[in-house]
Structure 1
């Protein structure tokens, strides 16, 4: 129904009553428009007040002779240039001792209240209007927005709350500054409004939570850290407490504006305009309902309704439309000549309900909703006789095309011979001359050079090549750009890969991705993987019998001499016949590979569990390539031993402990930063007051706090480096576990790809998301769906929100249970609708 209403009613325009283009090269925002009887005239007639970022304040009184008449000079009552940019304007009873309406103007570093007065003219030039400054407040912090109202539910007065860019709320009770509070966990300022019935402030945080703070809570909160508070015209230090929210609600998107709908004919509700939805909230923070908007909104305004128990809402959109809602039901859609960034309703010349809108470029328009049709007319269609035979043939053809398009193999466009071809090759096994870490650094590192060749059969534009290698490998250059590539003229570039850290990566596969545009403007992507040589991260040493962790792989063919598998690591004929070889990794530890002389087994052993991954994967791949080159296609590998889950769990615990320590360091640094800024502000104040004793003491305290911050920062950086190393070890353990599961249960490529997506998510640990919670969610989903036991009702995944867990016990249980169920049912029973496409995952080692 709403779609039909939108299509039909968008044919009608908002009927223009009066319009004006304000200024040149000025910018306006949603807080720049205000409708009020600002001169306190006895007629009660509204005026339009406009403020721009250029600092120009204008007051209009539209008086058209007839509807559609444009602006005349007499309509402009006042144009005044202020010193600073105007962020927001509001009207209210802001001056003590009088009930007259005054104008509050918010500047970046100042809050000013003016009284707008007029003098009757005695000559033909008309009346004279002027602004009188009632009082000003200099702001110590950069302002963002403000809200006003009878804070504390006082009668006959309006107070002002200014929100700064760092989340500081400054409260002004008319001529006096009363208090200030910092919002908790603040990152970026959001819209803010005051609810007079609940005496609370509503805002939306950068985490997309609607938060409510009671004024009483803000007024009495006290903190353990020093906070600057203004007394008169001076800023003194007081103790403040971070206020706590009365209630919060996650709306899942950033809010553009918040309004309180408090009308007599309907219960009070909170309206939040999001990027895609309009939310209706009760005063207690409960979501009543929400309305999805078909187009991107730009502004909105609730107003009183003639129907009992309902609220009317105007919503402006970026497609130059004005939507009229009755609660969440769309009633009308009207076209505008501009994109409104602010909308108000006023009364002019005894005409009530005039809609006032303004664009960001200053197009001001007063309009009303009527039934003037748009000038657009649908073209007339030619009448023709219906040929049912042709229609039936066309319908059959369409059915054939639709059926063919449902084939998933045809979703990806077929590769054309003229498409761009990306080729990657390793120029040498290892560079003869090792490269330096940086200019002027005498230390050198093993390196390998990779050559990338781009060739296309037709002209391509805006070509960008991006290269990635696994951590901790480093690239000399990771991006290349080409404006144009001629057809048939290949372009080659070289880059160097080197290892600068003292630990090895979990794998040696890199990726080169090219994005480009065809002559017709179609964007395309080509990718190519390359394998780096094992020599880059390890070297051969005398074979040692390493104790500790062991992996035994069984094969169906006689053992192969390790010298023929790892030719680049052995020298001479004796080495080629070796049945044992040891590799030394960058951290000094070694990994030994043994080939049995009497059985068809190979053993990989090392003191550290994570070191087994790289060599085991390399052994598995080289064995497959060895037999494939000799035409032996039935070669297989298997693993019959117990899965090393306990060793894998130790790596998980180490990584999880370092994540918790990183969170602890961040909290300490945040507290130290707050304390440092507070001491710094106090020191500046004492310097202005010329108090030497206080300055010396505060200076010593500032240096001490700074030294503590530096020490904490160094510890946090060291922990971050350890966390990166632990994450690589975690990836190595996951790669090894995945390989052993594949060899133990002969998993299909599709099942292996699904497990890879669950155990090896492509993400980096952050404050919001990490490996443990991501893998626990994925494995729990597998256990409740594709790995669920037959004839048993499985509870759904218990995790509804990805947060850092308090421990890893549940994760370990889920991983152990996953391995047990895989041993009973080797392949996952997942449909195309809910499984991960194995081809989109990283490839598994192949024996081909």
Structure 2
């Protein structure tokens, strides 16, 4: 950090949330005695300032006045770059060139005199304009071809096309070779050359004559990037991206090219030879150079808000800035010569000079004292005790602190939005969406607040994030949740994360969860009696009719009663219902009530489709009996191991195929680049060389790349579908484990391992992580013997190449969990008469957690402990 700070003499801030870049500002006198400051934003707003700094009794009067803004004009398209030169034939005056994406225009600044300052009018008059066929990147002006007293325009497009305009007339256009991304473009008058840089990190110089010989003279011609091969006059390897370039003329009539890289400043001669280089220990943002007494002066702005002035390679001065600019220029105002003009990316424009006001901070003198180790140990013990006490009370303090800052309430509208008039509804697959309303009441001032809404794929939320600053009162945010893909639904949880920074600068975050309406993702379907996967949920209360549990589907259930009245009166009474995905994917999940026992049966032909209804039954039963302290739900069957293993197999196969196609694409791309290099070498040779079927090989490789890419996109889409299905299976198994007789400590470990989140990142796939977790379980509290516990715990991730070993470990873990539950469950004679015995001595959990809809969701993670014994043959064959 610098000791001194710059002195602000004039500043103004642009409105309307405009953005700017390094090409958005120029400083030029145009045809006046003092400089004009001209800026153009990406919103298409052009502003011309001429600050008037008055001197009253020897004191410089600073500050922005309304008369300093002499012109403001709005264009239809963003302004990419500005330039000033003699651009009109027959006129020796300077004119303003404005570059837009598909147009470059030349304007004249016309002054209409008045009786006072506020009576003077400035008008932009359009002289001519050229339409561009390709999207422009930047341009440069100069005396191309050795012309005198007039400037030509060279526009560089995004794909490397250089278009020359000889003032009002079209000149020619051509492509420069080896081009990928556009870089800075400058003109060197002495050698009549263009100097540019690209994504290959080379500085290249092209003669105007070579470009002219290879150019197309007719505007209607469409040149291609491979039609001509233009050799550069000289190249200079940078080995880093180029931020900015400029050309300066020394008093000895010698020209130099100043290049600013990401870590270095280069000075090149007109022949491309390195004169000197300055390496920075910071990241520069922008620079401006000028010549003073045969020395090259360079002003560099760093990312630490510091302006540094170099004479050649020697640092002469540095000062601290008040903000972070992206563009710097020098200007000669009416009463202040050589001031710095700074522009930030959000539109802050400032004129300042180098200040000599030192910082008031003085470093304290170093105190070299011998350490008292006994006293240090006592202090360390005291600090450790304080840290331990704070850690124990961290959760309590954090919750109390958050509650004093603000409260957050979530509300989902149960009525689904339909109709094309609704916003974002065209993106929903089933033409339906629900609206989430978030109410926030700030009790104290909050500096920054960010809300993030998280839903599980295939659900989508728009908008998903909100950001506010200086929050002092009640706020309300609304967003739409809808189905974005034709996939199964892992769960209907919607989590809102509020991250905020209080007025004291303390960061905190709050999480709240709510439930998305079931009707958004499923629809009523006729129930099925025979299915492959069945789950029985036992309750210790009378069965609740499905028409009461699923009141939001009551219209469909009543409609089905009339259809089933003659066939089956039990089902007609609300004892059976079917639910299917609204996108017609997956299988139908049926919910049936037992005739003579307190049991619900949920069945389907797929565990993936069964998942959502199991979770919904637990959630809706807990909500219905939330005031009943003794209510409990129990699952006493066997875990669905086989469907889970099948889904894991499918995920492993698809993921392996995706990895194989990625590697194949990498090999084909390398082969394609090698063929291109061979073709370029043969085409550049002075003597013609036969291509020896390289063209055929190039076409075949391109065809194979296209075919492999299509396969990769298809398999990648299939991988996303299989990931969701695996998440559904894991969520179903985890939900059933919560309803079994598992102690809290073991359940917390199982939940951390069987998390229903499937992520396949590079070099670490889901199978690799779960295999390490399974081995940890088998060597710790699920170990079969003490010998297994003595083995080293698995602590490293290794790639799973064969799925059979993982299948064995997964099966062992699920079987040992079930066996451990059976062994820990008492099996007395009283319990044999009822297969659904309940441990009365354990405190109920439903009432403690089910006081609100958000707390009910947590009840599934702390389900009550219920005894489990094998079901008898009579109960298994019971009619449902």
Q: What's the TM-score once normalised by structure 1's chain length? A: 0.49
Q: What's the TM-score once normalised by structure 2's chain length? A: 0.47
